[in-house]
Structure 1
C-alpha cells in the first residue's frame, strides 16, 4: 500500500462484503486491491470499489440507467421482437452502446422499425421486464436511508415510469413514443434522451435535493451513460461495455445492484 494510505477500519458485514476505510492514496489503494483480486484462483471473483467519503457520508444521490442496468434486457429489442426486426435493432443497439454510432440517430433508426405496432405491446413488454438482481432491495434500502434515487433512460417512458413506480423510485425520465390511432408511428416525441440529457438529469436532480456533485453516484452500462458517469462524484460501470468501464471510477462485474447500496454506505433492508 502506498505511503500516506492507512487502513483505519475494516468491516465484514457477513454478506460477502468487506469494507476498508483509508486515508489518502486512493489511486494506489485501487491498484493494489485490483492487483490482489486478479491473483485469485479461477472461479473466485471479487469486485473492488474505492470511493470517496462524500459518496458515503452527508447528502447523497443515486441515478441509474435502465436498460441492461436497472433491468436485464433492452426494451427496444423486446419491442423489436414483436415487429420481427429483433436482429436488426439489436445490431444498432450494440453499436450505440459501444459508442460506434450517434445515440440519437441510432434511436430514430430503431424506433422507425417499430412503426405499425399496436400500442398495447408496451403493456405486454412492461409485464415481461426483468429487474436486475438486487434492484428491489437497492431501491428499498436507499429509500430507508433517505438517499434520493432517480432513473434516466434512452428507452421509453411508457415502460420506465411504471417500472420505477413499482420499485418506489420517485424520479424517472425517458423518451416518449408517438402513438396515432392506437399504433406506434415509428417516431419519438420531443428531444431524445441521450448522453447529454442524462447528465442534465443528474445535475438537476442533485440541485433539487441539495446534493453536491461529489455526493452523487451514477450507474450505467453503455456509451450513452458516459457523460453522467464522468460528471458524478462516483461513476459506476455496471456489467458495462469497455468504453464505459474505462471511464468509470468503479467497475462492477457481477449483476447485483445491492452493490450500489454498499457503495453509498447504507444498510441493506431485506
Structure 2
C-alpha cells in the first residue's frame, strides 16, 4: 500500500487534510487513512491505493510549502545512508569558495550552477573548473575549510541518529577529498568517496589525481553498500549528478534541490532542515542523537 508523508505545521495539516483527501479521491486515488504519525503531530501520513505520481502531484498542490516523501510501503530506518556533500551536508559549494581565493568565483560558480542544473556534462565541467584553479596555493584549502564550509543545519543529528539505529553512512561527492575527509570526520560519516585535487610544490596543479567521481560512481557506491549490508537505503542530494543515486535508493530525498533532482527523487525537503529526513522516516525526536 503506497504511503505518503507530509511535514508542515500541525495547524496547516489539520486545516488542509480534508481538501487533500477530496483532491486525491477526485484524481482516482483511494485514501484508506490520513492521520498524524504516532508521536509526530507535524507529520501527516496518507495510506492509499493509486498511482504514486498522481498522489505526489495532488499533495504538492494542496501543501505547497511542505516536505514530502512518497513510498511504495511504510518508510523504514535504512541500513545504508549515502549522501552528497556540497549544498547537502555543508552550506557551500567548495570549488566555488576555493575559486574566490583565486579571484575566479563568479566564473567558476556559473559553471557549477549549470552542471548542477544538468545543463553541462559533469566530468567536463569539473575538469574545466579544476584547470582554472591551477597555481592556487594549497593553503587556501585549509583557510576555506575554516572560514567558509559550515555544516548544514541538522547534518550532525541526522548522521548520528542513523548510525545509532545501525545505519552505515557514506559521504560521496563530486568535490574533493581535501574537503570531504575533514567534513566526514566532523559529521561522523564512516566512508568517503571523492575526487582528489592534484598538488605539487604547495600549489594546485590544475588537475585531478585518479578517476572522477560522477553520477554513475555515486549510484555504484550506493548499490555496492546495499549489496554488502542489505536492507533499505537512503540517499540525499541536491543536484543533477545525484539523480541516479536518488533513484536507486529505497528512499531518495532531494534536499533544497535543483528542479531536476527534486522531480527525480522519491521525496524532498524544501522547507525544513536535515532533521526533516528523520521525521519523514518516522523517527521521533526522543530517539535523535545530538542537538
The reply to whether TM is greater than 0.5 is yes
Alignment of 1:72-221 (within 5 A): 72-128=91-147, 129-211=149-231, 215-221=232-238
Specify the alignment match of 2:15 in structure 1: none
Superposition deviation, residue 254 in structure 1: 2.3
Superposition deviation, residue 19 in structure 1: 4.0
Structure 1 residues 134, 182: CA separation in 2 closer, same or farther (over 3 Å shift)? same
Is the 2:67–2:272 contact (alpha carbons within 8 Å) kept by the matching residues of 1? no
Q: Describe the SS at the equivalent of 1:246.
A: helix
Alignment of 1:31-70 (within 5 A): 31-38=57-64, 45-53=65-73, 55-56=75-76, 60-70=79-89
Q: Does 1:22 align with 2:47?
A: yes
Cα distance in 1 between the residues matched to 2:95 and 2:192: 17
Superposition deviation, residue 34 in structure 1: 2.4
Number of residue equivalences: 259
Cα distance in 2 between the residues matched to 1:180 and 1:138: 37
Structure 1 residues 144, 98: CA separation in 2 closer, same or farther (over 3 Å shift)? same
Specify the alignment match of 1:231 in structure 2: 248
143-152 vs 94-103, greater mean Cα deviation = 143-152
Is the 1:12–1:19 contact (alpha carbons within 8 Å) kept by the matching residues of 2? no
Is the 2:67–2:276 contact (alpha carbons within 8 Å) kept by the matching residues of 1? no
Cα distance in 2 between the residues matched to 1:24 and 1:149: 33
Specify the alignment match of 2:5 in structure 1: none
Cα distance in 1 between the residues matched to 2:272 and 2:96: 20
Superposition deviation, residue 124 in structure 1: 1.5
Cα distance in 2 between the residues matched to 1:122 and 1:229: 29
Query: What stretches of structure 1 move > 6 A for 4+ residues in a row?
Result: none
Is the 1:133–1:255 contact (alpha carbons within 8 Å) kept by the matching residues of 2? no
| Runs of 5+ consecutive residues of structure 1 not aligned to the other structure | 39-44
Superposition deviation, residue 226 in structure 1: 1.3
Deviations 1:180-201 (A, max 9, x none): 1111101011111011111111
Superposition deviation, residue 63 in structure 1: 1.2
Superposition deviation, residue 35 in structure 1: 2.8
Q: Describe the SS at the equivalent of 1:158.
A: helix
Is the 1:67–1:155 contact (alpha carbons within 8 Å) kept by the matching residues of 2? yes
Is the 1:151–1:173 contact (alpha carbons within 8 Å) kept by the matching residues of 2? yes
Structure 1 residues 182, 175: CA separation in 2 closer, same or farther (over 3 Å shift)? same
Cα distance in 1 between the residues matched to 2:202 and 2:270: 41
Superposition deviation, residue 167 in structure 1: 1.2
Specify the alignment match of 1:42 in structure 2: none
Is the 2:37–2:282 contact (alpha carbons within 8 Å) kept by the matching residues of 1? no
Is the 2:123–2:214 contact (alpha carbons within 8 Å) kept by the matching residues of 1? yes
Specify the alignment match of 1:251 in structure 2: 268
Q: Describe the SS at the equivalent of 1:67.
A: coil
CA RMSD, Structure 1 to Structure 2 (Å): 2.1
Is the 1:149–1:171 contact (alpha carbons within 8 Å) kept by the matching residues of 2? yes
Specify the alignment match of 2:9 in structure 1: none
TM-score norm. by structure 1 comes to 0.88
Is the 2:69–2:253 contact (alpha carbons within 8 Å) kept by the matching residues of 1? no
